[in-house]
Structure 1
Amino acid sequence: ELQERVSHLRSEIAAKEARLAERRLRIEEARREREALRARLAQLNRKLNELTARKLALDEEIPSLSERVGELEGEIESLRSRLESLMGEEARRRLQGLQEKILALESEKSSLRESLAGVKERIQSIGRELESLARELEEREGRRRSRLEEISRLREELGRIEERLTELGKREEEILEAARELSETRKSVEAEIEGLLERRANLENRLKVLEREISGLEARIGELREAMESLDEELKDMPEPEEDLLASDLRTLKRERTRVENRMYELEPVDMTAIEEFERESSRLSDLREKMEKLREEVRSIDSLVRELNRRKKEAFMEVFNRVNEHFRRIFAELAMGEGELLLENRDDPFSGGMTILVRPKGKKAVRLEALSGGEKSLTALAFIFALQQYQPSPVYVLDEVDMFLDAVNAEAIGRKIREFSRSAQFIVVTLRRATLRHADRIVGVTMDQKGVSRVFTQEVPGAGG
């Protein structure tokens, strides 16, 4: 029963931890999506404000353009009227100038009409874009509210799971404490049983001695009784003895009988006490043996549970180790164009030994990690970190000049690999290598001027990862 309770608790804890990890991952994804939505929302708001301002400017520009068109049309009509009224040679000279002016005004009027049509079309386009942005804004706002509600719900569930894990942890401690108490009780009972067995052996020896002594006394009493009976028979057949001699023999026999009877009386209480004590101790020994058997059964159950937990722990560890080892082999081959492997010092009992990293760089023999150069060690360590990330990703990684000892080719390989893994996690990398920087989305630099003042600048990297 104890084993079943602990096994059930272990299973429930594992399930709760899995759900907890899943919920935390979902919360982190929701947080990232919420931040993306917030950024997109801010961008849309800025664009909406720009378009609104542009529309207002165009709305203000339309009346002035329309007024200018009217003025031009009036001026053209006026010029035409003046043209008709002019006569003579001077009129012809002025006519030519007026015609040129009319053509220029007509061209300007046509241009203004085209501009006006373009402005109206642009206003309509901006209106459609504003409607589209408004719809998108409303949709994203709805998604943001939905994500906030989901985050709130997940946080509540996360709190319940953490409370349940705490409760299960306390119950596990109680069961382990009960197991320790049972073990101590078992030791105490075993010691008491050993003492009782020794005492029973002493009592059995005393009983054997007393039984032998009683048997001897009973045999002696029988002999004396036979002798008395024989003497009684002889007395009957004998002539009357002298009175003094007969009295002396009788007194001697009576004294012997009294001595024997007194010895029997002395032995009888000792015999009964020993038998009663033996029976009591035997009964107590039987009870202790029964209790001891129960304790042994509980100990066997606990030992079986411990073996089962150790087996499951080993299986879980080996599953993780094998998965990480597979990722390490693949990633090391991609980074170093060589072979790499994780080795356990004791596969039968992995917790009693350590782990060794064995690699074969391209064109070299297989060596352990400690025999590698600084750059090769950095490359191997990064391959191991990336292998761990592949098995159980983290949302954020911070790497501080991990490419310091790498040549340009390996630094480029690390940059590409970080770029690849950045699809599922955020990487913050401190580096001075251009081969790594060219794969970043954004560069944050710190410089110091001649006055010792630090300045921070940020630069977006166009076509990052290309």
Structure 2
Amino acid sequence: MKEREQEIKASYEEQRGELLEVQANAKTFHSQVEGLQSQIEDVEAQLQRYKEKQLSNNEMLDTLEFEIQEAEQSLEGLQEQNSDQAEVMSEKESFLNLVKDELTQLLTGMQGRESEVKELVSSINKIEKSNVELNLKVEQIIVDEEILVKDCFDKYRVDLRQTLKSFLELHSDELEELASLESMYVMEGESGEIEIKAEAYEFEKKFPAVLRESKEKFKRYRSEFNRLGEINWQAIEDYERQKLRYDFLRDQEGQLKKSLEDLEIAIMHIDEKSKARFKEAYDEVNFRFEKVFPIIFGGGEARLEIVGDIDSAECGIDIIAKPPGKKMQSINLMSGGEKAMTAVSLIFSIFLVKPAPFCLLDEVDAPLDDANVGRFNELLREMSEESQFILITHNKKTMELNDTLYGVTMQEPGVSKAVSVQLH
């Protein structure tokens, strides 16, 4: 019994030990299960966070994709806008070049107008002088021909009448007797010599001196007639032709004189109108210049002065200015910055008198200090309400003022790229 009891007790102890071991193992397993459960919960929580983060990332990704699409669309729009603005800039540059060319041509034409008028007047004077000389020559030729023709006819007429009269007076008796004896004489031979027939012997014997003198006079008159030659029957036609030419030249001379008078009147009217418009524009610009200059300089005074006689073509305009703290002086004696500010004041004054669609300023703020740049920008902002300004500048303050900024970069060697940014 004791042995059985001991065996049972030993078995009990053994089983109890195993139970304790199992319980210990169960506790260990339970603790491991709890640890695993905790790990599972942590993993699930982390997984949930990952899922939430992934969802957030997906939403962010969708947002980024949407923003990328919007950015691409904006980029395309900016590129199109840049292209349009580049075209507008090109058109404006072309228009500006055209305006500059027209202005240059206008100035050149205005400067050369006086010389052209002088040349025209000189040419007209030469033409008038040549016309006068030609008219004198034509008149002299006509007078000479008239005198020559008249003298010839008068001479022939007078000589013939005188000869006939003298002959009739000296030999009236002999001619009466010759008439009675006409049948006794005949004319023979081309030389025109008179031969007396036999039956005229008594007459020749009776009047030998008269007959001899008559023959000599007849030969002499015939010789003079042959020496005079043929009569110029074209003289009258030549006279009429020269007279027509003379009348035509006189008419041309009258037209030239009338054109010259009209031209002088037109030039006088143009000069008067130009002087009036110049004086009017000068007064308006000078008034604006006196107002704008103190704004840009923060004080001081300035004015425009006409140099020379305004009625002459040699007059000019001088700029007299007095920056703050300095004396009144010509712009030629100012510093570079003062000259630039004074020139800008004059340009803005002209724009206030006659605004233009746009104005291109190339680094006018380069010689200015910060204070002057600020005043320049303030006035430029006010002026931009009336006109569009295009500025080429390296000044940051001036860049901040602009609505649109255009930059040129070279990402690749030899390839320039324009980039635009809307600032306002």
TM-score normalized with structure 1 length = 0.45
Task: Indicate the structure whose relative CO is greater, using CA pairs within 8 Å and at least 6 residues apart.
Answer: 1
**Structure having the higher Rg:** 2
More helix per residue: 1
